[in-house]
Amino acid sequence: MIAWSLMLITLLLPEPTSAANARSELKELTVAPAGSLDGYSHLRFMPEWAEEVGMCDSREIVLHRDATEITTGWDCSAIQGTWYSRYDGKTLHSEAEIDVDHLVPLSNAWRSGARAWTDAQRYSFANDLIRPELIAVSESANLDKGGRSPISWRPRKDYWCTYARAWITVKHHYRLTVTENEKRALAEMLGACA
């Protein structure tokens, strides 16, 4: 394992705000109808993953961070490893089975305020390793979720509390809006918090 890999294995999935703070922050979010998707493009957020450490980009850092064990190539790419997909409870052993999900989908961010941002601000959002916006999950769960919000898609129930707290953490930090139905869905999911 080369030197930069030693630094990567110390990274942890960013912890979302506490349940109590999430309830407060949810009340602070601006409620507004979902904006238009006019002008939206994935490329407006990320023409590519951002280079972060040495040869490692944001995606590779998330794969390293979220793996329980990992073997990497000289270029930071994951060769093999073990990952646990929190969305659906699957344990995966191939990088080909993994996607790095934007917890708040880029299209949702666009419709809730990111449309007014600069491309540089959107790029920063799409590569955010500080907040719980990026997470390694199974490809099947990520494809199933797509650009949906908690109104129409949720992970397995024992992950509701963390997922809702993370969604609120991201939306609150970036001052993104929520719809009335989205706010109700998040409040329901917070009910799963002990």
Mean pLDDT of the chain: 92
Q: How far apart are CA 88 and CA 21, in angstroms?
A: 26
Q: Could you give the percent of the chain with pLDDT greater than 90?
A: 82
CB 163 within 8 A of CB 131: no
Overall average pLDDT of the 63-85 stretch? 91
Can you give the pLDDT at residue 82? 96
181 near 112, Cβ under 8 Å?
no
pLDDT, one tens digit per residue, over 20-45 is 999 999 999 999 999 999 999 999 99
Its pTM stands at 0.93
At which residue do the structure tokens 């030197």 appear?
3
Distance between CA atoms of 50 and 57, rounded to whole angstroms? 5
Q: What is the pLDDT of residue 83?
A: 96
State the pLDDT at residue 111.
98
Read off the pLDDT of each residue in 98-127 and give the average, rounded to a whole number. 98
